[in-house]
Structure 1
């Protein structure tokens, strides 16, 4: 009789790096969502160019919370990049630290954005500008929440020891999304906070 040899080690599951289908799927998602934000920001500039002055109606929004929020989100991208570099070198503790720091920074961004929303003297339906402001920043906030869910799942999977220096495509895919969230915020920040100050 023929005997079948069974390996006692766990076989790797899924493809590596850019061969992973999820990598290309995330790039397609990012392209789609980037198009959505491009349309939203175009609508802002289009309506601004057709509205009587002043624009924004209440003046340029304060930078008091927007600058710290931007720095927090950028720092979250840096810690995600650092965590990914750690797992590429087999340092699981570095990935855990990077994910935890990015999660905390993402939550801090949401808190700062919530405080800013609460302090606005207008509502979603007050004017064209207020509608654009809450719609565009709200869409971005929804993407941050999805990003935090992705980070939480990656942290859980890291706890289950799913990743090592050879198999960590899911981490790289999550990093792409988190960087996308940061880049979109920079475009939103420029649109609402910097562009009005440039005249």
Structure 2
């Protein structure tokens, strides 16, 4: 006799919180990506120490960067709230929180891209322009990956695949988003604040 299997479209429930291979895998990703950003920030500092005419027209403006920073940090707070209410079974509120976090993250990207457009230099102008675009561009790529993760989690939720017992999916996606936000604070301090202190 053959056994008939039905297709269950829910996500598998593996570890909870800090258990399971997925959690350790994300820790490895965050560790390696953190090292990448440390190298890029070190490169910025090294190039700044070697170049007398380092900045183009003084420090970068905070006109777009400051609101973008507020949006990104705010999105992390909203997403943490969404994770917590989702783990308590409040699916509607969790979806709303993820939608708000996605909108805030997308607005951050738009502000950063607009700032790129307004810069008086191109990627290949000199060492400052290269490290500026490389550092902010690498961060923007990580924001895009984070947004894809949030959109996937949202699609799973609307499709009925993400349930209360899937707390690890919420935890891992939120943790990656927090990492992206924390990295931005270091990038912001390096590019926008440190030239004002020098």
Q: TM-score, normalised by structure 2?
A: 0.91
Q: Runs of 5+ in structure 1 lacking a partner?
A: 1-9
Cα offsets for 1:39-83 (capped at 9, x unmatched): 00000001111112x431321010000000000000110111010
Q: Within 1, Cα distance between the matches of 2:109 and 2:12?
A: 37
Q: Runs of 5+ in structure 2 lacking a partner?
A: 1-9
Q: Within 1, Cα distance between the matches of 2:144 and 2:167?
A: 22
2:161 is aligned to 162
C-alpha displacement at 1:19, in angstroms?
Answer: 1.5
Distance 1:11 1:98, change over 3 A: closer
Q: Matched residue of 2:46: which SS?
A: helix
Q: Within 2, Cα distance between the matches of 1:62 and 1:159?
A: 40
Q: Within 1, Cα distance between the matches of 2:36 and 2:12?
A: 36
1:88 is aligned to 87
Provide the aligned length of Structure 1 versus Structure 2: 189
Q: Matched residue of 1:180: which SS?
A: helix
2:46 is aligned to 46
Pair member with larger Rg: 1
2:27 is aligned to 27
Cα offsets for 1:168-195 (capped at 9, x unmatched): 2111000010001101111000001000
C-alpha displacement at 1:90, in angstroms?
Answer: 1.1
1:178 is aligned to 177
CA contact (8 A) 2:71 2:104 kept: yes
Q: Within 1, Cα distance between the matches of 2:162 and 2:56?
A: 51
Q: Within 2, Cα distance between the matches of 1:12 and 1:69?
A: 36
